[in-house]
């Protein structure tokens, strides 16, 4: 049971947003954003400001059935592997490491991933210089 009104308000807003996304209700987005602004919670205001920066993309994402989340996740994993192994291996070892890690988590179909990794290596994208430390 929630005892503080702030926590209850935050949970209510989160559940409303979840319903809005599941129902693909793009008309309800602006009233929802106004409710969040009225709550005046800094973290939620940051989220709403991020939504406002690209409102067209957000509304399209709400009504669209398509998502590039799987591809983005896979590309992110490959970049992390590349950062970890920077300067430590040859391209064939890096390719093998990418294939093992991605297939281990079964993210995308095998043929699509082979094609993507092979295109990266064919265009030599893996040779871009990367910083040794992250800022």
User: What is residue 73's predicted lDDT score, i.e. its pLDDT?
Assistant: 83
**Under 8 Å CB-to-CB from 20, ≥6 apart: which residues?**
28, 29, 32, 62
Find the angle CA(92)-CA(77)-CA(62) to the nearest 5 degrees: 140
Which pLDDT does position 52 carry in this prediction?
Answer: 93
Helices (H), the chain: 5-22, 29-39, 42-53, 55-63, 69-84, 91-104, 110-122
Residue 2 DSSP label: -
Q: For residue 106, give the DSSP letter.
A: T
User: Tens digit of pLDDT per residue, the chain (135 long)?
Assistant: 557 888 888 889 999 999 999 999 999 999 999 999 999 889 999 999 999 999 998 998 888 888 777 788 888 887 877 777 676 667 777 777 767 665 555 545 555 656 666 666 555 544 444 344 433
Instruction: Report pLDDT for 78.
Output: 79
- In this structure, what DSSP letter does residue 108 have? S
């Amino acid at each position: 049971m929630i005892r503080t009104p702030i926590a209850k308000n935050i949970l209510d807003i989160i559940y409303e947003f979840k319903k809005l996304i599941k129902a693909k209700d793009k008309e309800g987005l602006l009233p929802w954003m106004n409710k969040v602004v009225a709550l005046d919670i800094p973290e939620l205001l940051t989220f709403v400001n991020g939504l406002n920066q690209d409102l067209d993309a957000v509304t399209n994402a709400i009504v669209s059935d398509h998502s590039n989340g799987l591809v983005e996740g896979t590309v992110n994993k490959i970049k992390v592997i590349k950062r970890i192994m920077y300067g430590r291996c040859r391209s064939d070892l890096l390719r093998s490491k990418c294939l093992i890690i991605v297939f281990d988590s079964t993210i995308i179909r095998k043929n699509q991933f082979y094609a993507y990794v092979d295109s990266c290596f064919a265009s030599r994208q893996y040779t871009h210089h990367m910083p040794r430390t992250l800022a």
